[in-house]
Amino acid sequence: MLSSAGFRSLSFHLSVLAAEAGRLILDISRRGAEVQEKSDHSPVTDADIAAEELLLAGLGRLLPGVPVLAEESASRGEAPLPGSTFLVVDPLDGTREFVSGRREYTVNIGLVSEGRPVLGVLHVPAYGRTYHGAESAGAARALHEVGALPVEEMFEPIRTRTPPPGLMALTSRGHNDAATEAFLDKLGVVGERQRIGSAYKFALVAEGSADIYPRFGPTMEWDLAAGHALILAAGGDVLSPEGEPVRYGKTDEGYRNHAFVAWGRVTR
């Protein structure tokens, strides 16, 4: 694998690529995105498709020969055999939020090695925020103008926080369920529970704005890999509710995830 310096360099270049995709998404949003329905009845827009094309081209230049598991390609039956090292891409995570005019959607790029995420980039186009994190290199955040590309000097280190009395829990805006609420009740979470769409929740835990994000509803590997890597690099973890590791490259399960919990620095 790469050295710490190599991971930091790659993280920055992938962050710029994600921001380029974010700028394209914003341009399409301004003119009005075209919305269609996929076979699973979830929405897809021309912004999803155009952003994925841009990301695939850029990843081909930055990491030639590394397989890419990308949401829209996979939905068309074009998922590659991942191998021991592969990229995982969600070009527009939170399409429902995007279509509804909310700003909580993200561009996700993850790098997986031997079944575990070792690098993740989350770009939040409508907020002008870009996050990256990598194994042995830490996690960082850049705040920049909406539509602008981050520069290296903008990135500042972030860490998960020591939890205060009354944990801040994040849940999904559109996919919250009774199992999630029951888990938080059993854990004794009596603090605020905030509903937010997309992988932005991982970034909020990683930067220390929240403490825990459980998800018992269905997700795919491209929903999780980038945020998982970011959380790990920031000092947290993503585990099953029983405390088992979350693995990637689950071809026999169609790249579906089971329930998971994203933790900041919480004693479990």
Residue ranges for the known binding site for substrate are: 71, 92-95, 223
Cα–Cα distance measured from residue 103 to residue 6, given in angstroms and rounded to the nearest whole number: 32
**Which uninterrupted H or E stretch holds 173?**
none
**Which uninterrupted H or E stretch holds 65?**
none
DSSP 164: P
β-partners of residue 89 are 70, 109
**Which uninterrupted H or E stretch holds 141?**
strand 138-143
DSSP 190-211: -S-EEEE-STHHHHHHHTTS-S
Q: Please give the structure tokens belonging to residue 124.
A: 């939040």
Residues of the binding site for Mg(2+): 71, 90, 92-93, 223
Cα–Cα distance measured from residue 63 to residue 77, given in angstroms and rounded to the nearest whole number: 22
**Which uninterrupted H or E stretch holds 47?**
helix 46-62
Three-state SS sequence of 87-126: EEEEEEECHHHHHHCCCCCEEEEEEEECCEEEEEEEEEHH
Q: Please give the structure tokens belonging to residue 142.
A: 């850049």
DSSP 264: S
Check if the beta carbon of residue 112 is closer than 8 Å to that of residue 84.
no
Cβ-count burial of 62 within 10 angstroms (0-12 exposed, 13-18 middle, 19+ buried)? middle
Residues of the binding site: 71, 90, 92-95, 223
